[in-house]
Amino acid sequence: MDTKYIGEHLLPGQIGHFSAVLAFVAAILASISYFMAVQSKDDVLKNSWKKLARWAFIIQALAVFTTFGSLYYALYNHYFEYKYVWRNSSRDLPVSYLLSSFWADQEGSFLLWSIWHSVLGLLLIRFGKKWEAPVMATLSFAQIFLGSMLIGIYILDYRVGSNPFLLLRLAEENQGLPWVANANYLDFIKDGNGLNLSLQNYWMVIHPPVLFLGFASTIIPFAYAFAGLWTREYKEWIKPALPWSLFSAMILGTGIMMGAAWAYESLTFGGYWAWDPVENASLVPWLTLVAGIHTLLAFKFSGHALKPTFFFFFITFVLILYSTFLTRSGVLGDTSVHSFTDLGMSGQLLVYMAVFVIPAFALLIIRSKEIPDVAKEASTYSREFWLFVGALILMIAAIQITFTTSIPVWNKIINGLGLKKLFGLEQDIAPPSDGVFHYNKIQIFVAIVLGILTAIVQYLKYKDTPKGHFIKKIGIPTVISLVITGLIGIFGNITYDAYGGGFLGAIYVMLFTSVYAIVANAMFIIVGQKGKLRVAGGSVAHVGFGMVLLGILISSSKKEVISIDRMKMLDGGFFGKESKENPRENLMLPKNFPVQMGDYHVTYAGDSLAEGDAKTYYLVRYERRDPSNGNILEKFTLHPDAFLSNKGQQQLTPNPDSKHYFTKDIFTYITAVPIKDASSDTAQYNNHDIAPGDSVFFANGYIILEGIQPQPQNRNYTPQPNDLAVGAQLRVVTKNNEQYNLMPVYSLRDSSYEVIVPDTVAPLSLYVKFSKVLPKEKKIQIQVKESDTFKDYIVMKAFIFPYINVLWLGILVMVVGFVMSIVQRVKANKSKSIQS
């Protein structure tokens, strides 16, 4: 007899799964109908197929939106009977993060991708005109494969996709467990597994949708290029494809940099880019897409580089699919901090990639001789020649990044085919030990070349440029850029000693090329385009690109760690053998004890928990004083936070906080906190009889008795009228010559009993008592203890990122430039359509 389960909400799952299957079937119908519309020679039949295709795609889009609504409804209402809801959310999750939990896992991210394909498809139906059928045939075909990722049905013994509406009790890993047979099993599921801690950030609400719109949009340049080959209209597709390719590059680039902003605010590698494999996987398609845009422009105005344009648009979408395989197959599990685990869809992903790679490049090869080209070679003084060179440089960058990122894939291929002996390998290929340097040592020269090309290419004309004209035009911005670079070099103190002085020469060259890109393009807008901003979108985007390069350079080369542990408090394996933290770049802050950090005195003032929030927020107060008079020049409070578990600092998941200035950021995050269940302090006080001028040594320095004070001042001592009190005036000197003053108090109250008030140096965990007066020996007795337990402190790391706003502002300027270019191209297309 079947068990009747109590409390399950089956309707949202039934509607959602039905919608997912309906979307899959409708995508198949739309794809076939659009294909027939392209192939049909009869106009009446062509229109009939197109009408059927449109309705099928609209139904598909509505089904995808319904699937989204059903899953979000289940998440919002905490229906933990669904495995996806239980795995990615919890009751204490703020409503603002429910969307993050929607795309936290593979099924949700594929659904998000499908949603954007649906939106883009509806726009193409409305505005695609003659290109609707061939372009939509490709997009609908892609929707078949995205839909297959969500249906979760078995064909023979193979499961196609993963159903996001699978009930928890029906999951394979739960079969055979006793609770599955309990009708009231939901009574025992009080909460969900929760959202990954690193995703609980507002950037993760907006970054994934923008990034996935970027991923989804790359299919449109691909589809236009494929449609051009398919219909043998090799040149006509260029005009409608250009605005879409600009849109795709803008959105994908914005999504990538939103991820960088998330990393900057939420991760603790102290920056916005770490060459993580998942970061690389999204960057590479953007590089090839930008290369394709530039070769497309070269063809549009000169007739050169049409074949490379096909190649770049094809390879961009293929690389998007490859990046999807990398991040969702589990192959990067050991090399990336934010890749998905394998849900058994690796085979589908490979098929998805193959069905787009093979037809596209096969058709490109077969019809290569039909693609128009200019027999005459491009002049080296022509714009199209250097646009093509720039595209090749971008391709070289993409190859280097992809090759290293794919090391886990190479290992799987080599092991799978038994090729280790052939390649002379005794073990797997290891990723570079210093990944950042591995990429930087190549990509800095890519950036240099691109910076120079960004500066000079606009001053060249298509087909040919008189040599004297070019030199005359480019001379002034070159001189100005050299002067500005020299001034920055002299007064900016640009250094980069992370990898030795040999890197410094390349840094200065990159500094010049960054400035050169900004100055030359700004002057081109003023002089070359006579201030007409409506046609200056490309130059504005190039100014933004130069600013991005300059922001990366300055913020990286001038980044300064200010949390220097000069007292070596954290030496001796504080962070553990496996930790990559440099203990000298972390500072221990005892509670309510100001510690010098760079130009600031920093005080840990306590922590707090917000209701409904699993984070602990730490109050860190910064204060900067005028060294001449002690007046406060500046003060502010930062609130770095962390997720804590009962296992203490090893389970610390910190989130940084930053103080933003126009010229810099102060970036702060927690690296360790005390273990709450630590054992009690076992250190003992040791007695020392000393006279004024005597010293007592301890582990980190020595204590000097400078004198006896008859009216002692100690924050923990409140004198009474009948007290006879004296204080020991002590000076503490550390091994690093840092000094502290102590005043432990000894008092006789009512001439009958002793009152002993200790004093402490919290950063040293040093406790001192004034325990006796020895009048005959003219000495006093003090007791000294170095505690072996810390119970109220934080360990913190802090950087200064100078001029990082140049980077963020550069990104905004690039986006504005892309938008201007899109508007210009759309208006130009409309104007030509009206004229024709």
- For 385-395, the pLDDT digits (tens) are 999 999 999 99
- C-alpha triplet 745, 792, 784: angle, nearest 5°: 35
pLDDT score, position 98: 86
Q: What is the mean pLDDT of each run of 10 residues along the chain (836 residues)?
A: 83 96 97 96 93 97 97 94 92 84 89 96 94 97 94 79 90 76 86 80 87 96 97 94 96 93 74 83 95 95 93 96 83 56 68 92 95 86 93 95 89 80 75 82 91 93 87 92 88 59 74 95 88 86 95 83 79 71 84 82 82 76 84 91 58 82 88 65 81 85 90 81 88 79 87 81 82 89 78 85 91 94 86 59
- What pLDDT does residue 647 have? 39
Number of H helices and E strands in the chain, helices first, is 20, 23
pLDDT at 678: 43
User: What's the pLDDT tens digit per position in 136-147?
Assistant: 999 999 999 999
Q: Number of C-alpha atoms within 13 angstroms, CB side, residue 398?
A: 25
Structure tokens at 64: 């995808």
Q: Sign of the C-alpha dihedral, residues 446, 452, 455, 456?
A: negative
pLDDT at 629: 77
- SS3 per-residue string spanning 268-313: CCCCCCCCCHHHHHHHHHHHHHHHHHHHHHHHHHHCCCHHHHHHHH
Amino acid found at 538: G
pLDDT digits (tens, 9 = 90+) for 429-451: 878 877 788 888 889 899 999 99
pLDDT of residue 767: 87
Q: Scan for tokens 């960088």, then name that residue.
A: 260
* Whole-number pLDDT of residue 497: 53
At 737-769, the pLDDT tens digits run 778 889 999 988 776 778 888 888 876 778 899
Residue 648: per-residue pLDDT:
39
What pLDDT is attached to residue 164? 93
Dist CA 127 CA 345 (whole Å): 35
What's residue 649's pLDDT? 41
Condensed to tens digits (0 to 9), the pLDDT of residues 10-52 reads 999 999 999 999 999 999 999 999 999 999 989 899 999 999 9
Q: Is residue 503 within 8 Å of residue 496, measured between CB atoms? A: yes
